[in-house]
Amino acid sequence: MSRRVLITGGAGFIGSHLADYLIQQGHVVHVIDNLSTGKLSNISHLFDHPCFHFDEGDVVDDQDLRDVVSQVDVIYHLAAVVGTFQVVKKPISVLKTNITGTERVLEAVADSEAKPHLFFASTSEVYGAPNIEFLSEDSPLVIDSSEHYPWHYAISKITGEAYCQTYAQMFDVKATILRFFNIIGPNQTGKYGMVIPRFIQQALVGEPITIFGDGKHERSFCDVRDVVRILALLPHYEDSIGRILNVGSTDLISIIDLAKLIKELTNSSSEFTFFGYDKVYDENFKDIKRRRPDLTALHQLIPFEYEWNLTATLQDLIRRARELHG
C-alpha cells in the first residue's frame, strides 16, 4: 500500500537513505531539511521523481509544516543537531532545535485531522552510562550531573520522548519512539565526529588513525540500509504505536579493535595515535564505556533479518571511498 510520508531532516544521513528506499517502494515522500548538516547531493537524484518533494526549511519555524503534516500518513521526525563535535560546540542549538522542533511537529500532528503516525528519532544516549551488558527499553535513563559529558543532547532527546508520550495521552497522537544505536553506512561524514568514515579516510591515505580516549570503549554498529528497511516495515504494525523501541545491532566491538579491523581491510600502513578527550572536545568530556541494545522488543514486533554485518559494511565503505578518491 502506497503511503504519503514526511521525513524531517530528510537530506541527512539516515533521512536520505530512508527517502531513497521509500521512493523505491512506491511511496510519496516529502522532505523538509534546513541543510545545516544535510546535503542536497544526498537527495538530488530524486528531484525529478514525481513522487518526491523537497522543501528547504527548518521545522522550528517552517511556515508550511502544518500544511505538509495535514497531507501525510506517516512522519519520520529525524531533524536534529547530531554528531559529537556539533553537540559539544553548539549546546544551545542542540536544545533549541531538538526540543522546539519536536514540539512544533507534534503540535502540527495534533491539529491534523489525518493524525499521521509519528516515528520520533531518539538515541541510545538517553540511557546514560549504566554498567549493563544489554540496554533494554525499560533500563533506567540516567543523567548524572557529576559526570563530565555533554548531557544536553541526551536531555533534548529525553524531552522529545516526554513530549511524544504526553501528546499521545492528551491528543491521541500516534507516536513511536525509536532509540538508535550507532548507525553507519554510505554518505556518512566524519566531519561531525563519526568514527568510521574518519578511520577509513585516514587508513586509505596512510595517515595516523586517531583514536579518542584509550580505545577500550565499545559500540555496536548497524548498517543504515538495514535500519531503513526496519523503519519502512514499522508502519505496517499498529502494535508499534505507543512503543519505545531500540534500533540497531547487538554485535559489539571496541574502538581500538575497530581501528585494527579497518587497518587490516584497507591493507594500510597507518599507525594508531591516541588523543585525550581534552585535546579533541574539552577538558570536561567523558565518554560512555559500553553501548549495546537489547533488541528483543523490536524483533518480537517485526520479522526481520539483517543483510549487513560490520565487516561487509566496512568493505563496502572502503570500496566506495577508493572509487571516490581514486
Q: Catalytic residue numbers?
A: 153
Q: Parallel, antiparallel, or unpaired: how do β-strands 244-247 and 175-180 relate?
A: parallel
Q: Parallel, antiparallel, or unpaired: how do β-strands 253-254 and 244-247 relate?
A: unpaired
> What's the CA angle centered on 298, arms 297 and 300, to 5 degrees?
65
Q: Report long-range pairs for 95-99 (Cβ below 8 Å, ≥24 apart).
A: 95/152, 95/155, 95/156, 96/60, 97/58, 97/60, 98/153, 98/156, 98/157, 98/159, 98/160, 99/156, 99/159, 99/160, 99/163
Cα–Cα distance, 130 to 290 (Å, whole number): 9
Cα–Cα distance, 6 to 114 (Å, whole number): 13
Could you tell me which of 228, 245, 232, 254 has the C-alpha nearest to residue 300?
A: 245
As given in the structure block, the three cell numbers for residue 98 are 531538538
Cα–Cα distance, 306 to 225 (Å, whole number): 9
The CB-side HSE value for 296 (13 A sphere, CA atoms) comes to 6
Q: Report long-range pairs for 161-165 (Cβ below 8 Å, ≥24 apart).
A: 161/120, 161/122, 161/126, 161/244, 163/99, 163/102, 163/103, 163/106, 164/102, 164/106, 164/118, 164/120
As given in the structure block, the three cell numbers for residue 52 are 518526491
Number of residues that this document lists for the chain? 326
